[in-house]
Amino acid sequence: MPIEKNELLGLLTPHFEGATIEVVDLVGDKDHYKISIFWSGFSGMSKVLQHKAVYAALGDVAGGKLHALSIETKLQKD
């Protein structure tokens, strides 16, 4: 079941205040996305915890509407 890019941004934005968030539809089917989040709030978090935070923000969407998801997280320098 496809999901719009704006819907993904709407789920992520409230959880990562001040972050730079990029959502790219990898094949144009609204079902395969790459999400990149650059956020100062990742400071002190392992990569595993950063990715868990993204999955938590997406909720059931990650296991339902999305078929494939690539996640990139990086510490944003202020």
Tell me which residue range forms the domain holding 64: 10-19+47-72
Residue ranges of the chain whose pLDDT lies below 70: 78
The answer to whether residue 64 sits within a structural domain is: yes
The answer to whether residue 28 sits within a structural domain is: no
Residues 6 or more apart in contact with residue 10 via CB below 8 angstroms: none
The answer to whether residue 2 sits within a structural domain is: no
The answer to whether residue 53 sits within a structural domain is: yes
The answer to whether residue 42 sits within a structural domain is: no
| Tens-place pLDDT, residues 45-61 | 999 999 999 999 999 99
The answer to whether residue 58 sits within a structural domain is: yes
Residue-level pLDDT at 33: 95
Residue-level pLDDT at 69: 94
Q: How many domains does the chain have?
A: 1
